[in-house]
């Protein structure tokens, strides 16, 4: 294709195929979508109980509500100070308070000193997030939670299929979460999956009727239209359209605790079931793209790729980069955005003004603040081709790092 056509890479895109949507429609007709998805998730992740919700945050809110019924005297949930704004939205939706712990800006792992300081007799649950598909090793955190009588929620919304040792992300806590939203490992436009091996939590889930109500035909038809639109619009040749419509709010981080708990409709369960069959291939492709990007960036001065923890197998939902000097020299070229090179969450959670009334205490979160200010992430999804990778690498080669260094050499 020649000429200045508007190729624009979405920062994250999980491919939806016509076959996925056809599977969704079949599930809608047969009413077997949720059951089939449940069996496959149980099999693939080796868990006893699987529940669905209309979104990841609804699944998270439902999990916390279930925990609260088992531990009504505790009302505080500890979150990493750097994560998706969906996470605090879910805590507040569940009527709970938010405590924060810091994360390492080097490894993205929980800062255990900060976490231990935040734990107290009111802590209902600690949420750990495997950001960008980099698995955390949760054994020490699990032990800490056990000692303090708090639940551990393994938020694998960005890490479906990732592994730490022999453990799969999503199965390392008392409950686990996957998201089927459009920027995740696989998508059904939206959706949340909760896993647990605990009978008491499963029972508490079963007592939430909103999660099991059949969904109306109008909602399903709307979801079908959304799925079709998403399939078309995430293509690099079409993405400029949704990206240029500000009211769609694409790529924006919003704190919004005001949502309803609803079931996952059969259509989206069917789409998710079909997409799940491709999870391993999609993750393998992301790993290859991440490895090629990483190799291209090797030796580019002034930056480093965040390294996964030893013994873990990441799924690289995105490839996170940090500037060595603390800030990007001269800023990053605006054309980088059209290549899907974007900042991550723009604020550490303690800086979200709408969340302030729900915070139990505020400390210093230097790791989270540094990540919010400086982390850049590169796309790894299936629309990223060789030319894109070379163009992305060039963005970083063109940063004025070397020139600064040579000026210093001249001065010396």
Ligand X SMILES: *Cc1c(COP(=O)(O)O)cnc(C)c1O
Using CB under 6 A as the binding rule, the residues of this chain from 313 to 332 that contact ligand X are none
How is the beta sheet containing 303-305 ordered, strand by strand? 303-305, 318-323, 376-379, 342-343
Measured between alpha carbons, how far is 388 from 201 in angstroms, rounded to an integer?
45
Locate tokens 């949340």: which residue?
192
- The encoded tokens of residue 307 equal 């390294």
Q: Is residue 348 close enough to count as binding ligand X by CB under 6 A?
A: no
Q: Is residue 105 close enough to count as binding ligand X by CB under 6 A?
A: no
Using CB under 6 A as the binding rule, the residues of this chain from 31 to 60 that contact ligand X are 55-57, 60
Q: Is residue 376 close enough to count as binding ligand X by CB under 6 A?
A: no
# residues near ligand X by CB under 6 A: 15
Active-site annotation holder among 42, 184, 402, 408: 184
Q: Is residue 12 close enough to count as binding ligand X by CB under 6 A?
A: no
Smallest distance, ligand X to C-beta of residue 329, A: 29
Contact 170, 152 (CB under 8 A): no
Q: Is residue 372 close enough to count as binding ligand X by CB under 6 A?
A: no
Using CB under 6 A as the binding rule, the residues of this chain from 137 to 166 that contact ligand X are 155, 157-158
Q: Is residue 344 close enough to count as binding ligand X by CB under 6 A?
A: no
Smallest distance, ligand X to C-beta of residue 55, A: 4
Q: Is residue 86 close enough to count as binding ligand X by CB under 6 A?
A: yes
Smallest distance, ligand X to C-beta of residue 212, A: 19
H helix intervals, 253-299 = 266-276, 279-297
Measured between alpha carbons, how far is 362 from 117 in angstroms, rounded to an integer?
12
Phi–psi pair at 147, nearest 5 degrees: -60, -40
Question: Would the CA dihedral through 199, 204, 207, 213 be positive or negative?
Answer: negative
Classify 343 as helix, strand or coil: strand
Reply yes or no on whether 117 is catalytic. Answer: no
Residue closest to ligand X, measured at CB: 56
Q: Which residues of 281-291 are buried (b: 16+ CB within 10 A; e: fewer)?
A: ebbebbbebbe
Q: Is residue 83 close enough to count as binding ligand X by CB under 6 A?
A: yes
Q: What amino acid positions are annotated as catalytic residues?
A: 184
Q: Applying CB under 6 A, which residues contact ligand X?
A: 55-57, 60, 83-84, 86-87, 129, 155, 157-158, 179, 181, 192
């Amino acid at each position: 294709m020649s000429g200045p056509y508007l190729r624009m890479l979405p920062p994250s895109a999980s491919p939806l195929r016509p076959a996925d949507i056809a599977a969704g429609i079949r599930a809608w007709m047969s009413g077997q979508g949720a059951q089939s998805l449940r069996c496959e998730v149980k099999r693939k992740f080796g868990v006893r109980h699987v529940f669905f919700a209309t979104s990841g945050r609804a699944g998270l809110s439902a999990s916390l509500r279930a925990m609260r019924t088992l531990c009504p005297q505790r009302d505080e949930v500890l979150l990493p100070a750097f994560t998706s704004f969906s996470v605090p939205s879910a805590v507040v939706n569940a009527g709970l308070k938010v405590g924060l712990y810091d994360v390492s800006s080097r490894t993205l792992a929980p800062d255990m000193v900060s976490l231990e300081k935040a734990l107290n007799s009111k802590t209902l649950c600690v949420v750990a997030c495997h950001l960008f598909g980099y698995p955390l090793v949760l054994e020490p955190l699990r032990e800490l939670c056990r000692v303090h009588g708090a639940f551990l929620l393994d938020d694998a919304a960005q890490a479906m299929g990732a592994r730490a040792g022999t453990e799969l992300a999503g199965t390392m806590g008392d409950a686990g979460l996957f998201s089927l939203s459009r920027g995740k490992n696989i998508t059904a436009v939206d959706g949340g999956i909760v896993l647990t091996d605990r009978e008491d939590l499963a029972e508490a889930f079963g007592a939430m009727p909103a999660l099991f109500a059949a969904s109306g035909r109008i909602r399903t038809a709307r979801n079908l239209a959304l799925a079709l639109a998403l399939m078309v619009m995430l293509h690099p040749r079409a993405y400029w359209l949704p990206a240029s419509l500000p009211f769609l709010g694409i790529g924006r981080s919003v704190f919004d605790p005001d949502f309803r708990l609803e079931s996952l409709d059969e259509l989206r369960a069917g789409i998710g079931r079909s997409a799940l069959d491709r999870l391993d291939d999609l993750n393998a492709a992301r790993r290859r793209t991440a490895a090629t990007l990483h190799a291209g960036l090797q030796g580019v001065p002034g930056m480093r790729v965040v390294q996964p923890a030893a013994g873990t197998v990441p799924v690289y939902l995105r490839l996170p980069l940090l500037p060595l000097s603390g800030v990007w020299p001269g800023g990053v070229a605006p054309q980088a955005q059209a290549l899907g090179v974007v900042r991550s969450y723009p604020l550490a959670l303690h800086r979200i003004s709408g969340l302030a009334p729900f915070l139990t205490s505020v400390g210093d979160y230097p790791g989270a603040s540094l990540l919010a200010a400086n982390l850049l992430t590169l796309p790894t999804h299936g629309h990223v081709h060789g030319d894109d990778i070379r163009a992305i690498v060039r963005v970083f080669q063109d940063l004025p790092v070397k020139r600064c260094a040579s000026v210093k050499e001249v001065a010396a």
